[in-house]
């Protein structure tokens, strides 16, 4: 046991495991992209990015290419969007809990962030309506598919209710969908863009579908808004990183994405199952989401456990590092919430991690140590 515990397990960031990175294919695609488009990829380009990729992604989405902006990952595009769409002090509504880096972006812009509680099937719609009436937000930020950090997917009924509110109160829905294509079972729910394209800006990236280091994200929405975001992007970095965009273009053009998604699903599905089994076994008094895809399971610790104390005991006594849950909460207390990312650990490590977490919960409920 002592020996096992000497190996620290990090249950923190939502990153793909190294073995999920298709290094060889990326090398081939990069060589091809440079051979075909070297003088474009190595030169300054418009801030909208590598035109062939922009056109391909827009076409796949059934949109004109000027509705799409490429950037260095989606979080910076969210920042650009919030910068052009809102002024200091205006209100953004987010899920509670939500993606911590989105909160950082909003806070950097000194926006007022109001959290609306998550339920098993998405946002609490009554609370959303109340928040809208009270704060008159301009923008709703949501991760509707396999949410970071809870793993929850919003139901169709919930989405329709949200759409109705957004249309009635003229709120822009920003749907961030980096995990949408990583569904391990079940069937897709309509995206906000499908339900209400005029009230939606869609964000995503290839960080979870191909490789984070490429830094390729995109935003898709109203061309006028996209043009304003592109101007801010140009002021920020002139041209986004182009080699990664060339790689993604060639990867898609060659049809590598679908097989890569199949490989990822085959790798991640047993990890999710191992985590859910571990929770059943080790923490039967807790409650948790049952995601059908993505990177995370959101856990609510058993009553009486304090998340900060559990995190401290887990780290100090059992070599298990979990995220600072407070980071995911726009307001209020993390209470008993813990985010469990499952993709970067193998089944054995996941079982170990849940066991350690359960020991820390036990210790904490007994009064800590």
- Contact residues toward a copy of itself (CB under 8 A) are 13, 15-16, 18, 21, 23-24, 26-27, 30-31, 34-35, 38-45, 72-73, 75-76, 79, 101, 104-105, 108, 207, 211-215, 235-244, 247
Neighbours of 270 (CB within 10 A): 15
d(CA 307, CA 332): 14
The continuous run of DSSP H or E covering 205 comes out as strand 200-205
Contact of 146 with 113, CB cutoff 8 Å:
no
Question: Strands 217-220 and 200-205: what pairing?
Answer: antiparallel
CB of 93 to a copy of itself, least distance (A): 21
Q: What is the smallest separation between the CB atom of 36 and a copy of itself, expressed in angstroms?
A: 10
The angle formed by the CA atoms of residues 117, 164 and 76, to the nearest 5 degrees, is: 60
User: Nearest distance from residue 311's CB to a copy of itself, in Å?
Assistant: 21
CA distance from start to end of the chain: 19
User: For residues 46 and 351, which CB has a smaller minimum distance to a copy of itself in the complex?
Assistant: 46
* CB-nearer residue toward a copy of itself: 48 or 364: 48
Q: Which segments of the chain does DSSP mark as H helices, in order?
A: 2-6, 23-41, 51-60, 74-85, 100-108, 125-135, 156-169, 192-195, 223-237, 242-253, 257-282, 307-318, 347-365
Give the shortest CB-99-to-a copy of itself separation in angstroms: 12
Shortest gap between Cβ of 33 and a copy of itself (angstroms)? 9
| Nearest residue to 180 via CA among 167, 189, 168, 170 | 189
Nearer to a copy of itself, 26 or 195 (CB): 26
If the CB atoms of residues 38 and 259 are measured against a copy of itself, the closer one turns out to be: 38
| Helix, coil or strand: residue 1 | coil
Nearer to a copy of itself by Cβ, of 2 and 23: the residue is 23
Q: Helices 23-41 and 242-253 sit at what angle, rounded to 10 degrees?
A: 120
Residue closer to a copy of itself (CB basis): 233 or 283: 233
**How is the beta sheet containing 337-341 ordered, strand by strand?**
287-288, 296-300, 337-341
Pairing verdict, β 112-119 and 296-300: unpaired
Smallest separation, CB 109 to a copy of itself (Å): 11
Residue 199 or 208 having the CB closest to a copy of itself: 208
User: Could you tell me how many residues make up the chain?
Assistant: 369
Q: How far is the CB of 237 from a copy of itself (least distance, A)?
A: 5
Q: Which is nearer to a copy of itself, 259 or 284 (CB)?
A: 259
Shortest approach of a copy of itself to residue 130 CB, angstroms? 30
Q: Which is nearer to a copy of itself, 234 or 306 (CB)?
A: 234
SS (H, E, C) 148-188: CCCCCCCCHHHHHHHHHHHHHHCCEEEEECCCCCCECCCCC
Give the shortest CB-104-to-a copy of itself separation in angstroms.
Answer: 5
């Amino acid at each position: 046991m002592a020996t096992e515990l000497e190996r620290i397990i990090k249950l923190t960031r939502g990153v793909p495991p190294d073995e999920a990175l298709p290094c060889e294919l990326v090398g081939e695609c990069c060589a091809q992209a440079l051979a075909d488009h070297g003088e474009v990829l190595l030169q300054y380009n418009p801030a909208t990015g590598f035109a062939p990729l922009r056109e391909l992604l827009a076409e796949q989405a059934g949109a004109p290419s000027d509705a799409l902006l490429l950037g260095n990952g989606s979080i910076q595009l969210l920042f650009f969007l919030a910068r052009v769409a809102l002024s200091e002090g205006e209100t953004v509504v987010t899920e509670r809990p939500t993606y911590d880096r989105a909160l950082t972006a909003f806070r950097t812009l000194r926006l007022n962030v109001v959290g609306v509680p998550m339920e098993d099937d998405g946002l609490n719609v009554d609370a959303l309506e109340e928040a809208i009436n009270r704060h008159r937000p301009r923008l709703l930020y949501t991760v509707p598919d396999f949410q970071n950090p809870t793993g929850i997917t919003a139901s169709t009924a919930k989405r329709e209710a949200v759409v109705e509110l957004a249309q009635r109160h003229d709120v822009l829905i920003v749907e961030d969908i980096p995990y949408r294509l990583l569904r391990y079972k079940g069937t897709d729910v309509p995206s906000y863009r499908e339900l209400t394209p005029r009230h939606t800006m869609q964000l995503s990236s290839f960080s979870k579908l191909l490789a984070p280091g490429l830094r390729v994200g995109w935003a898709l929405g109203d061309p006028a808004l996209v043009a304003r975001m592109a101007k801010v992007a140009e002021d920020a970095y002139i041209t986004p990183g182009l080699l990664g965009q060339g790689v993604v273009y060639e990867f898609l053009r060659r049809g590598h994405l679908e097989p890569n998604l199949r490989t990822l699903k085959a790798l991640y599905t047993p990890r999710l199952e191992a985590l859910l089994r571990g929770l059943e076994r080790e923490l039967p008094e807790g409650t948790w989401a049952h995601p059908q895809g993505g990177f995370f399971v959101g856990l609510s610790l058993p009553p009486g456990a304090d998340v900060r104390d559990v995190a401290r005991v887990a780290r100090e006594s059992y070599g298990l590092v979990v995220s600072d849950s407070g980071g995911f909460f726009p307001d209020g207390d993390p209470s008993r919430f813990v985010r469990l990312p499952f993709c970067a650990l193998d089944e054995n490590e996941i079982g170990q991690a849940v066991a350690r977490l359960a020991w820390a919960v036990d210790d904490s409920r007994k009064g800590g140590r």
